[in-house]
Structure 1
Amino acid sequence: MTNRISLAKLADQAGVSTATVSRVLNGKDVVAPETRQAVLTAIDLLGYERPEKLRRRPTRLIGLVIPELSNPVFPLFAQNLETALTSFGYTPILCTQRAGGVTEDTHVQLLLDHGINGIIFVSGLHADMESNPDRYHSLIEQKVPFVTINGSNPTIQAPDFSLDDALTMRQAIRHLRTLGHSEIGLAVGPARFIPAARKVASFTKEMQALYPEQPVHITHTLFTLEGGQAATKKLVEAGCTAIIYGSDMMALGGLQYCETAGISVPDDLSIIGFDDTPLISFTNPPLTTFRHPVREISEVAVSTLHDLITGVTTENHSMTFRSELVVRESTTTLA
């Protein structure tokens, strides 16, 4: 099969030498994982069939436990985590959750039954302060390597990679303040979730410091379009001229509510989202929101998990990441 593959075309597509392509095709272990992945990607993009030795089923499995995929930020994480895992020679097993579906504990048990090498939890029960952390303590006792994303829980001794929620709130408020807004509302998820609680704490502190004489407007709701609609109605009725949302999905709900209620965005109400998921810049108006370093988070999380699996480190290397405020047309100067 390999004689029908053009080494030169593959080398050009992958950005490597023909000698490197040859080593990958012949299954040599001297090639770096990321280089091997680049060549495999080139094979797929050029429409070649992979040689038999490159189609052997990998035995190193990693579980990805992720919330429902209806929120575009989670497929984005899944895609980037899969790419990073493949570069290390792992095969991901995707486990998604939704209300009324398979529970996280059931997913974990199924993964353990498959002999997985490690687990990555994204916005799982580790982020729920009302959830019993013993399920994670049990994994530690069983010496199952795992890392968490988006929900640093101080009761769980595992590496976590989360966004700096406090910083995003300060950035959002200061952006709106420069536009003349002081009646600013926060629409965020249930209070029991760690990222929501941290947003609330930072938002409250910042608003009280800037506007000590006025009430702090916060509404807890679901991370859904419907939740965003309900929160927007409540905050607008409270007199807010600008709203910060805990997700782009909620912000989209806010835009929908404004359209049906005859409220102009941004002339009557400025809106800031959170995630900058694909296609979000095509809303009407284009949404001002926070762009997260999803690729960087995924790569560091996978690299750390690999170190735990291979015994390179046993330390808790947690990190927080800065999000970038992307200013578009859903925020403007207060008239």
Structure 2
Amino acid sequence: MVFAGGLYAQADAPHDHYRLLHAGHLPAVLVNAPIPALGFPCVSTDDAVAVEQAWRHLTSLGHERIGLALGPPDHVPSRRKPAAGQAVARAAGGPGPPPEHVVRGMYSMEGGHAAASRLLGTGVTGIIALGAVRAARRRGLRVPQDVSVVRYDDSPLMTLTEPPLSTVRQQPIDALGRTAVQLLTAQIDGREVVRDEILLEPELIVRGSTGPRAAR
């Protein structure tokens, strides 16, 4: 079995069914970060690198007040991203994002819109979020002239928006799929596999939704 998402990524969710599968020696692979100690092989995109790429891109354009919209607090990938934002900001000599620049919500267009609206209310000029362009326009702000937007996950549809969205390609589907199948077939063949999380590199795709910080 290959699990491409599930409760294994949520710390506060029940996990007994995964432990039963593991105890039964079922060949299985998890795609994207699980809670610790489940014991299954796992392949994920490096969430820390994804934040670092987006953050460095925005700071290179002069943005100093950058907001992060994240998933629920018990979601493992969402737990990793604020620490990555703090680390890259401090490495550049800054203090890191204040608490009001990190907003949590549901992983959906509506949840991203709500989170981005809250961030815009704090005066950020760069946002790493889903749904931020719509939230900016409802406030009468232009993208990227007034606020720059980077979102997670890429798709061909991102070139069809206005403006085309800069993204961090967090789901390299071919590489994730190949690695998951290799881990699975190795288990089926009775070979030993790596039980640590295998991290793949994301890719920043720069398009029209990011630009220099407007002069104040």
Match of 1:163 in 2: 45
Identity of aligned residues (%): 36
Give the distance between the partners of 1:222 and 1:314, measured in 2 at CA: 34
What CA RMSD, in Å, does the superposition of the two structures yield over aligned residues? 1.6
Unaligned runs of 5+ in 2: none
> CA separation of 1:262/1:126 partners in 2, compared to 1, >3 Å: closer, same or farther?
same
> CA separation of 1:317/1:232 partners in 2, compared to 1, >3 Å: closer, same or farther?
closer
Residue 185 of structure 2 aligns to a residue whose secondary structure is: helix
TM-score, reference length from structure 2: 0.91
Following TM superposition, by how much is the alpha carbon of 1:256 offset from its aligned partner in structure 2, in angstroms?
1.4
> CA separation of 1:168/1:139 partners in 2, compared to 1, >3 Å: closer, same or farther?
same
TM-score, reference length from structure 1: 0.60
Report which structure shows greater RCO (CA 8 Å, sep ≥6).
2
Give the distance between the partners of 2:45 and 2:96, measured in 1 at CA: 30
Residue 195 in structure 1 maps to residue 77 in structure 2: yes
Following TM superposition, by how much is the alpha carbon of 1:213 offset from its aligned partner in structure 2, in angstroms?
7.9
Following TM superposition, by how much is the alpha carbon of 1:134 offset from its aligned partner in structure 2, in angstroms?
2.6
Match of 1:242 in 2: 126
* AA matched with 2:123: G
Tell me which of 208, 213, 216 is aligned to 1:334: 213
Residue 212 in structure 1 maps to residue 95 in structure 2: yes
Residue 279 of structure 1 aligns to a residue whose secondary structure is: helix
* AA matched with 1:127: A
Tell me which of 38, 45, 61 is aligned to 1:179: 61
TM-superposition CA deviations, 1:133-174 (whole Å, max 9, x none): 332221111121111011133211111000111111111111
* Contact 1:152-1:161 within 8 A present in 2 as well: no
Following TM superposition, by how much is the alpha carbon of 1:204 offset from its aligned partner in structure 2, in angstroms?
2.6
Match of 1:140 in 2: 22
Match of 1:278 in 2: 156
Give the distance between the partners of 1:319 and 1:219, measured in 2 at CA: 28
Following TM superposition, by how much is the alpha carbon of 1:211 offset from its aligned partner in structure 2, in angstroms?
2.0
Match of 1:45 in 2: none
- How many residue pairs were aligned? 211
1:48-63 matched pairs, under 5 angstroms: none
Residue 227 in structure 1 maps to residue 103 in structure 2: no
Match of 1:31 in 2: none
Match of 1:266 in 2: 144
* AA matched with 1:137: R
Match of 2:35 in 1: 153
* AA matched with 1:193: H
Give the distance between the partners of 1:137 and 1:237, measured in 2 at CA: 43
TM-superposition CA deviations, 1:198-242 (whole Å, max 9, x none): 112211333345322872410001111211211111111101000
Unaligned runs of 5+ in 1: 1-118
Following TM superposition, by how much is the alpha carbon of 1:299 offset from its aligned partner in structure 2, in angstroms?
1.0
Give the distance between the partners of 2:182 and 2:96, measured in 1 at CA: 48
TM-superposition CA deviations, 1:98-129 (whole Å, max 9, x none): xxxxxxxxxxxxxxxxxxxxx11112111111
Q: Which runs of 4+ in 1 moved over 4 A?
A: none
Give the structure with the larger helix fraction: 1
* Contact 1:304-1:317 within 8 A present in 2 as well: no
